[in-house]
Chain A
Amino acid sequence: EEEKVGEEKPEVLSPEELEKLKEEVDERKKLISTLRGKPWPMRKKLLTLRESHEFVEKYEGALGKGKSRKLYAYKVMMLKKWMKFQRDFENFKTACVPWEMKIKEIESKYVSYLFLLYPCTVLLVLPGCLLFFNLAEKALMGRPYGSMPRKTVPRADEANAMDFAVLWDFGGYAQYSVLFYGYYNSQRAIGWLKFRMPLSYFLVGVGTVAYSYMVVIRTMARNANEDGGGDNNSFNFSWKMFTSWDYLIGNPETADNKFASITTSFKEAILEEQESRKDDNIHLTRFLRVLANFLVLCCLAGSGYLIYFVVRRSQKFALEGLESHSWWERNEVNMVMSLLGMFCPMLFDVISALENYHPRIALQWQLGRIFALFLGNLYTFIIALMDEINLKREEEEVLKLNMTIWEASLYNGTLGANSTAPPITVHPADIPRGPCWETMVGQEFVRLIVSDTMTTYITLLIGDFLRAVLVRFLNYCWCWDLEAGFPSYSEFDVSGNVLGLIFNQGMIWMGAFYAPCLPALNVLRLHVSMYLQCWAVMCCNVPQERVFKASGSNNFYMAMLLVILFLSTLPAIYTIVTIPPSFDCGPFSGKSRMFDVIQETLESDFPAWFGKVFSYASNPGLVLPFLLLMVLAIYYLQSTSKSYKQANLELKKKLQTVSRTINKVLTLIQYLLYSLCGTCTDIVCPPESTPCKGGEHRAHQGKSDHQIPPSATSPPAPRGHRIPGPLPGNQWQPAPSVQRVPNSQRH
């Protein structure tokens, strides 16, 4: 690009020239910002960059003439500073990614598994931080101002409040701590900051759920975009060819595995393409599949019933007092759930051998069944929990009745009902406490998660580490080769682990409202898990034989996460909306429904007209048409996208026809040129000079045949074109098996 404004002095410029100059400077700036995306060698990029910088600097000053000069210069400087800031921030962000080096190390040995961990950590850390921050505030403000009774351990429990066994069960001091719902008091405004405890508790709870939804859906949308919407083509073979090599592999063992797996996948794909859809014995296969599904259903029903039975039993134990039972009986529910989660998937694996599906489809069925298992178990657990909640609420009624009697007994009937008396100081620990069902729910969830974590760690240690140790050392004195044969080293099961992460997240979402510290605890647990798994993976596991690309089903896992999010927030929302809160514990105590806090806030803290507006907006007469409008919008967008897809297909067909026509025309022209050149040789061009032919062998031969023999080995290249392919004279012959058609230069 030549510099249009040469040596002219800036003052001489007319407005149009100024405008043109400005445009050019902008263009140069755009060029600079897109330089890194250009596939040029570095030398060329450097030269262009320096040139453009010079140009911009030289003329930028000139542009700022006149009144707007100062503003323009200022704008330019701010822009520069902003770009520098952005660059530094990018550098900082990459430095901050936790465990980046470790992840790279693992990724070189295994396939990129930890793609999911990153959004998960974001998902978990953020709400964790949010809640943690809020808690800290509450804890700090709550202590001096809060009502003491709900924060102190009742007298009866004081004796064993510090016992480890009790603490492990999250009873005792743990029960009356920040961890659980019951700690927070319900005073409307606390301290000099007028911190609205109940309102903030409610909003934080709802806010974290909304934020989680947003993050998951945004990730899904981004993944869907990357997939590229247009056509529904799945370029199976081409993708296998061009994208199956993972450039992160740096380990020869993994590379060999990868080669083998690529070959198998090619052969499989070819076979699949070739073999006929009809397979023999379709009735037997169908029968076996139905049988397998029936067995799986039986398993699921069985496990659901088992959990229900166990929860019932534990309620009975609780009524009789927990101390009289063994450790197993006290922790039965959690252990049973964890054990089921461990063994049932193996059972499903065995059953699926009956079905004889393609491995990819079998994997999807397996994942679906595990999903159903976990969901079924969780929901049975919740239903059983509901029963307990109802029990506790009945207890509460009884207690409320007794409270009045107890209060009366304090005054010992010395005073009449209407007289005022100096309040008798009672130690907070002596006040009878209502059974707090919300804390009970929180406790159950925390216990569940702790036992789940323990089971995972123990399985990891035994299943992976111990197994590796046994295989390595027993191999010397065993009859068959332990490493290649039966036990061998355990493989790193990507899909199983990802599923585990997702379900863990689901449980957190369920329990977070009643045990506010749960996300923070989970962050801790994830950190420990990460280190443990990293160590296990590097020392005891071998890479999977089929190198499974988890990112291929990126949106599948995200979709599952979304479903789990929805299903886990459902019980919490149900309890918030239907069950009245306990009368003496938690931030909503005393209200008839938990969401009344919003009503209260609207009435007292906001001006009157706001409340009116809000009540109009939440009128069903307004909400229903709005919903209808959204449904219509969805329908409209769907039909537009369908029509775009259609247009895409049409264009593709057109492209094919057009290029075929062009091809034909070009080959025709080539043929004509050759024949022209041939006659030209005879008539116009003497043999010594070779203007018409560019072929080397002509030049070498000098005086030779005047005619281009049709069977010459290399065609003389016509001016400027290079035609790799059979001779023009041969093009009307049937093409060889690998469809080579003489093509003209594309670029």
Chain B
Amino acid sequence: MNNSAASTSSGSGDVPAPRRNSNRPKYSRFTQQELPACKPILTPRWVITVFTLIGVIFVPIGVAALMASNKVVEIVYRYDAVCIHGNTKDEKVAYIQNANTSKTCIITLTVPKDMDQPIYVYYQLDNFYQNHRRYVKSRNDAQLKDSDKANDTSGCDPEKTTPDGSPILPCGLIAWSLFNDTYSFSIGNQNLTVNKVGISWKSDRDHKFGDNVFPRNFQNGTMKGGASLNESIPLSQQEDLIVWMRTAALPTFRKPYGKIEQNLRVNETITVIIQNYYNTYSFSGKKKLVLSTSSWLGGKNDFTGIAYLTIGGLCFFLATAFTVVYLVKPRKLGDPSYLSWNRNPSGH
């Protein structure tokens, strides 16, 4: 205490005792903000190298992706327009909603190239909003998995219960609107078997849909949505439902219908008998039948390949441009004379 004033006194022999010594900062590289650090700066060489490198990596990947995509043989057939009677939308809707009309529709597909098995059969819907807020939430996962929770229909509005109040299983709009077109394939007069087992995710069958949960009161309401379900088959084996319940994020989507485990040769003609039940006419949605092989990148999709090639090309272009600019107009890095306060106008 008192040293601050006393230390100025003359003739005093007292040495001021160290004050507040504990306040002394402890030195460490962290506390002094002096941790070893590397400070990369954007030198032309570094940037040009990076862009060149990206180009070098991107172009081969792009070529590979494009090749993979090209190898995929795909047959897409839009059938919603041909499999309907009526010209106006109302007529179409009336036709599709009439339970008594025949919905059978026969189309033929020609195989453009050899297709090796397995050939995946997809149905594709356009303009169908499985991601609609009202739709996507209308399900109850607990009910699907657990037989004890069959009555748990919370969140399933407006397809919770039948008008008499018994709970629907599976409840909710998603299940209710289950896709119900069917396809049968034949080449010549030989049936083409479509294997519908294993089209859904195994994890869904094992853990999301119970093997002792059976459909109940399904499609018994006043309004019939989509497909009905066989009440004697547990949900875990209702693969069409499982696939449908994996909602799509985009309004255009494909869902697996089955697999053709047989090679198809070029120019073979496939006859498809379509039962065109599903109503996409009221909202002008398209329905397509897709047969496709697959590659290491999945189905036919040129986007990745083209994007990679474009970006690779752009990177080369940038690298070249930077090099040219660097050579034409070199600028010394870190020249202090560039600093505005060193450019002294008065000439000192």
- Asked if A pairs with B, the answer is no
Q: A residues within 8 Å of B by Cβ?
A: none
Q: B residues within 8 Å of A by Cβ?
A: none
